[in-house]
Amino acid sequence: MRATIGEFIHVASRINPPFICIEADARWLMEFCSRNRLTYTPVLLKIIAHVQKKYPIMNAILARDIIRKKIFLPEDVDISFAMEKKHRGGTVVLIPIIRQANKKSINVISSEIKHLSELTFDEMPQIKLIKLMNSYPDFLKYMTLRMLCQSAKWYNFFFGTVGVTNLGKFGITHFYPLWINATVFGIGTIEEKPVVRNGTVTTAHMLYLTIAFNHRILDGSAASEILVEVKRTIEDEAFYQAADDGM
């Protein structure tokens, strides 16, 4: 199993080297999650799906169209996210997918994450296919992964359209979120720190965010705009007021 994960990361590390970091004021996020007894992850997944309306390119898939590669833009935001599972005395990371996150409420996303967290390793979606790939020789694993990445349909089936990984619970701030999607978001910890507002030093709870992106699909300026929009939405009280009405 570790070898299979290694093959995925090997391919991903050659696809997504660039990344950009930012910090967001988490005041409204923390109040919303406390008020509704939610963890941060489903809310942040919904915010990322919400931002895709303004920036469809973040949902892109680079795949082959018969002869040459082209960029496909699926309408639905299928968010893959890292989740740890116990397996044979150790811990492995699986990447389940929240399908159509753009069409689901925060409560529904939260329920799906909770359901996935309660599943055992052997009960996880697509685990039979992953185990089958794990039984292949190394060269065949690599070739199979390359073939999957050539088809927009199979790419979406296995990897979704946007990636998210959350290391905030470990106290990690900025990090490089390594995965195979065109845009991958790294969620860091929330840290109280001094900030300057209107010329006055005060404190705020700041959330660390990172975006890694495929330079074959979007450049640094586009990735920066996407990350800034995620930050703006996290800091927008109106977003949470609307979310309260649509949960």
Interval 219-237: pLDDT, tens: 889 999 999 999 999 999 9
Mean pLDDT calculated for residue range 198-213: 95
Is residue 16 very low, low, confident or very high in pLDDT (cuts 50, 70, 90)? low
Mean pLDDT calculated for residue range 34-63: 96
Answer yes or no: are the C-beta atoms of 63 and 70 closer than 8 Å: yes
Burial class (CB in 10 A: 0-12, 13-18, 19+), 49: buried
Domain CATH number, residue 17: 3.30.559.10
Domain extent, residue 114, equals 2-246
Read off the amino acid at residue 119: L
pLDDT at residue 119 above 90?
yes
- Give how many domains the chain has, as a whole number: 1
From CA 142, how far away is CA 163, in angstroms rounded? 21
| Structure-model confidence comparison of residues 66 and 188, the more confident one | 188
Q: What is the pTM of this model?
A: 0.90
Task: Note the pLDDT of residue 68.
Answer: 83
Is residue 34 very low, low, confident or very high in pLDDT (cuts 50, 70, 90)? very high
Please provide the distance, in angstroms rounded to a whole number, between the alpha carbons at the two ends of the chain.
38
Hey, which bits of the chain come out as E strands?
19-25, 61-65, 68-72, 79-81, 83-87, 90-94, 97-98, 162-166, 183-197, 200-213
From CA 148, how far away is CA 126, in angstroms rounded? 14
Task: Note the pLDDT of residue 130.
Answer: 87
